[in-house]
Amino acid sequence: MEDKIHYTKAPITEAVIDLSVDISFEGGVSSLSNFGHLIEGEYSKHGDLINLENKIQIGQDGTSVAANQTVFGYRFLSSDNRQIVQARLDGFSLIRLAPYEKWEIFRDEARRLWNLYQVATNTKTVTRVAVRYINRLNLPLPLNDLKEYLLTAPEISPKLSQALSDYFMQLEIPQEDIGGTLVLIEAIIPPSKDDLVSVLLDIDLFSNVAFSSTEDDHWNLLEAFRIRKNEIFEACITDKTRELLK
């Protein structure tokens, strides 16, 4: 059984559940409009998701670039501005902004909305499953060594200065036991206060699949990803960071 630590100062700024689908469903963008009508009582604010394609044409007078814009989905915002639903031709996403509550609430809302997306689009196949959690870790100054707070951090040669004012690190790590891939991103981001160093810890777990959209395989995988996400977060931080989050 999972033994998850509860943090009163949870660092999650954004959580995402994403399901990509086979885009061969009939109805196209009009089906996505129907989805919008099903949720308009709760997610009334919306906007278009635009695909911008540049076409280069070479004529006798030189080269010209023509921009072609097409709508490939819609973005819906909840009345409290905390949740965003994306209904796209290639899939569905639910995004939760801070403050994050708990997985069960987030998952259940995603599943409810996904069922409505299925009704509107009649999609048959899930092709990709993903869970992503973006965390902001606010570390106090002075900070002599990142490894006081992070177990996953850049290693600087001892022959170089150890002072670090900025960094960006991306790791791709197979998660073979659960059939997924982890993309882990760390970076220094603008601090919320002058006496802090803010570090982005972005945990993205995904798998390319071929699941029936009417079965539970993708939800079972999402549960496995949620548990692994927690394990990854705990594996990346130290007790000193945990104290900051309590």
Question: What are the tens digits of pLDDT across the range 14-47?
Answer: 999 999 998 766 667 888 888 999 998 899 878 8
Euclidean distance between the first and the last CA atom of the chain, given in angstroms as a whole number? 22
In this prediction, what percent of the chain has a pLDDT beyond 90?
Answer: 68
User: In terms of domains, do 237 and 221 share one?
Assistant: yes
My answer on whether 15 and 27 are in the same domain is no
Is 242 a domain residue? yes
Residue 60 token pair: 């006798």
Residue 57 falls within a domain, yes or no?
Answer: no
Q: Give the residue-averaged pLDDT of 173-201.
A: 95
* Backbone angles phi and psi of 27, in degrees to 5: 100, -30
pLDDT in tens, 79-94: 999 999 999 999 999 9
Q: What is the pLDDT of residues 115-171, one digit of tens each?
A: 999 989 888 899 999 999 999 999 999 988 899 999 999 998 989 987 888 999 999
- 5 shares its domain with 78: no
Confidence check: pLDDT of 6 > 60: yes
Using the predicted structure, report yes or no on whether residue 12 has a pLDDT greater than 60. Answer: yes
244 and 162 both lie in a single domain:
yes
- Which of 123, 141, 166 is where one domain is finished? 123
Residues 114, 139: one domain? no
Q: Given this model, what pLDDT does residue 128 score?
A: 97
Mean pLDDT of the chain: 89
Is the domain of 159 the same as that of 245?
Answer: yes
Query: Would you state the pLDDT for residue 58?
Result: 57
Instruction: Give residue 67's pLDDT.
Output: 56
Query: How far apart are alpha carbons 197 and 195 in whole angstroms?
Result: 7
Q: Is residue 241 part of a domain?
A: yes
> Is 62 within a domain?
no
* H helix count then E strand count, the chain: 4, 9
| Residues 246 and 181 grouped into a single domain | yes
Claim to verify: residue 156 and residue 174 sit in the same structural domain: yes
Say if 5 falls within a structural domain.
Answer: yes
Q: Tell me which of 71-80, 94-103, 181-190, 201-210 is least confident.
A: 71-80
Q: Is the pLDDT of residue 178 over 70?
A: yes
Residue 178 maps to a domain: yes
Give the pLDDT confidence score for residue 148 in this predicted structure: 94
Q: Name residue 150's amino acid.
A: L
Identify the domain boundary among 123, 149, 167.
Answer: 123
Burial of 106 (0-12, 13-18, 19+ CB in 10 A): buried
Q: Does some domain include residue 163? A: yes
SS3 216: coil
Same domain, 115 and 144: no
pLDDT bucket at 56, cuts 50 / 70 / 90: low
List the domain range (segments joined by +) for residue 246: 1-20+133-208+216-246
Confidence label for 1 from pLDDT (cuts 50, 70 and 90):
very low
Better pLDDT: 193 or 243: 243
Question: Strand (E) positions, the chain?
Answer: 12-21, 45-59, 62-77, 83-88, 91-97, 125-140, 168-175, 180-189, 196-212
Q: Are residues 184 and 108 in the same domain?
A: no
Structural domain count of the chain: 2
195-214 per-position pLDDT tens digit = 999 999 999 999 999 999 98
Does residue 59 form part of some domain? no
